[in-house]
Amino acid sequence: MNAIPRSKPLIAALLFLPALLLAGWFVYEQAPIWFSGTPAWLDPKHPEAVPGACGALSALRVYRGRFVSETAALDAGAARERANRVAAEYYALPDGDYALDQGPALVRANFPQAGERLAWLALADLDAGDEARFGKVAIMFLDAENGDLLALHTGMSASDPQAACGGGPVSRRALLRQYLPLLLALGYVIVIAAGGLAARWWRKRRDQIRRTAWPA
C-alpha cells in the first residue's frame, strides 16, 4: 500500500488555517469600531471636531444608532431650520441661527417611543450671550421624514472635544468579546510553535539514540 505523500506547505497551511479564521473573526468584531463612518466634525480625535461632539456620540450610543447614507424626505437645510426653531422654543431663546454649520448628520437609531427611525442628528450652540447657558449645546434628533423632535439632550460645549471626551464604561464581557479572537489566535500560534519545537527536538533526540544504539 502506497503511503500518501505529505506536502509541508499544505500541512503548514492547514495548521495555520484556524489562526487565520480567528484573525478574521477579530477583524469582524473590530470593523464597526475601525470603520464607524463618524463625520469628521463629530469625531473627537479629528482636528475639525466641534464642541459637543462627545455628547452627541454618547447620545447616539444610547439609542443604539449609527451613521448612514440614505435618502431622507427632509433635507439637511430644512433640518437645520427645524433645529433653530427647537433651540429657540425649548431653551427660551430669541429666534436666531443656533444650529452648527457643520451639521446635521443622518443617522438611524432606536428611540424609546418612536422605535427605529431615520433621523437627523443636529447640534445647536446655546452660548447666545447668556452666562447661564455658556458652554452648552443642544443635541437633538429630528425625524428625517417630518422633522418631529425625537430626542433632545443638553451637552457640554468644550473647546477641546478630545480632552473632554472620556471613554464610556466598557463591561468585561464586551471587552472580552472584542479581543477573544485575537487571544485565541495568539494562543493557538504559541501552541503550534511549541509543538513544532518539541517535534524538532524529539527528532534530533531520536537520531542521537539511533546513532548511539547502531553505530556506523
State which of 163, 183, 201 marks the end of a domain. 163
181 and 119, same domain (yes or no) = no
124 plus 96 within the same structural domain:
yes
If asked whether residues 100 and 153 sit together in one domain, one would say yes
Same domain, yes or no: 52 and 139: yes
Q: How many domains does the chain have?
A: 2
Tell me the average pLDDT across 142-158: 88
**Residues 46 and 149 reside in one and the same domain:** yes
Give Cα 89 distance to the centre of its chain.
34
Range(s) of the domain holding residue 68: 37-163
Is residue 112 located within the same domain as residue 22?
Answer: no
For residues 10-33, average pLDDT: 72
- Let me know whether 41 and 130 are in one domain: yes
Together in a domain, 80 and 60:
yes
Q: Give the C-alpha distances (Å, rounded to integers) separating 193 from 15, 17, 200.
A: 10, 14, 11
Residues 43, 60 within the same domain? yes
Better-predicted residue by pLDDT, 105 or 163: 105
Does 156 reside within a domain?
yes
118 beta partners = 108
Per-residue pLDDT of 94-116, as tens digits, reads 888 888 888 799 999 999 888 99
Specify if 99 maps to a domain. yes
Choose between 81 and 171: higher pLDDT: 81
Q: Within a domain: residue 2?
A: no
When pLDDT is averaged across residues 125-149 and rounded to a whole number, the result is: 78
The residue type found at 127 is D
Mean residue pLDDT of the chain comes to: 79
Residue 1 covered by a domain: no
Do residues 151 and 93 both lie within one domain? yes
Residue 86 vs residue 127, higher pLDDT: 86
Question: In 3-state terms, what secondary structure has residue 65?
Answer: coil
CA contacts within 13 A on the Cβ side of 195 = 9
Angle, CA 29 vertex, CA 28 and CA 32 arms, to 5°:
90
Q: How far apart are CA 153 and CA 121, in angstroms?
A: 11
Same domain flag for 122 and 149: yes
Answer positive or negative: Cα dihedral of 148, 152, 33, 184. Answer: negative
pLDDT of residue 138: 92
Angle at which helix 172-213 crosses helix 8-34, to 10 degrees, equals 170
Report yes or no: 159 and 51 within 8 Å, Cβ to Cβ: yes
Verify that 58 and 111 share a domain, yes or no.
yes
Q: What percentage of the chain carries pLDDT values higher than 90? A: 25
| Cα–Cα distance measured from residue 60 to residue 32, given in angstroms and rounded to the nearest whole number | 14
